[in-house]
Amino acid sequence: MPDTTDHSGISHGSLKSNLIGLILSIILTVIPFAMVMRNTSSHAIIFIMVIVSAIIQIIVHLFYFLHINNLSEARWNLVTFLFTILIISIIIVGSIWIMYNLNINMIPSY
């Protein structure tokens, strides 16, 4: 997809890449909403589809709207973003794991 770079350093897509991003985003929004609202599949399948749609839509947003790719202009943006994801993972997984354990192990015995 054609990318142009101006002196502000972030590459900008063409109208076409933005439209592709929009259509993908709409699809990836409507699918999980429809699945949850209609409730026609099993709980596990809906759960997985919702999470997967969100992850893919995040990547679509990053690639088509924020133009985070591995080109030389955007590389440090990608690096700092990946580092942030690492910190976020530690915080979220750590919080949920620790609080869950505390919840289970700290049940008071009256």
Q: Which residues fall within 8 angstroms of residue 104, CB to CB, at 6 or more apart?
A: none
For position 48 contacting other proteins by CB under 8 A, the verdict is no
Options 22, 27, 45, 71; binder of other proteins; rule CB under 8 A: 22
As a whole number of angstroms, the distance between CA 45 and CA 105 comes to: 31
For position 76 contacting other proteins by CB under 8 A, the verdict is yes
- Read off the tokens for 85: 């994801």
Identify residue 18 by its one-letter amino acid code: N
CB 5 within 8 A of CB 11: yes
For position 45 contacting other proteins by CB under 8 A, the verdict is no
Enumerate helices (H) and strands (E) in the chain, giving the number of each: 3, 2
For position 105 contacting other proteins by CB under 8 A, the verdict is no
Options 18, 45, 71, 101; binder of other proteins; rule CB under 8 A: 18
For position 63 contacting other proteins by CB under 8 A, the verdict is no
For position 9 contacting other proteins by CB under 8 A, the verdict is yes
CB of 98 to other proteins, least distance (A): 9
For position 88 contacting other proteins by CB under 8 A, the verdict is yes
As a whole number of angstroms, the distance between CA 84 and CA 62 comes to: 14
Options 3, 50, 63, 69; binder of other proteins; rule CB under 8 A: 50
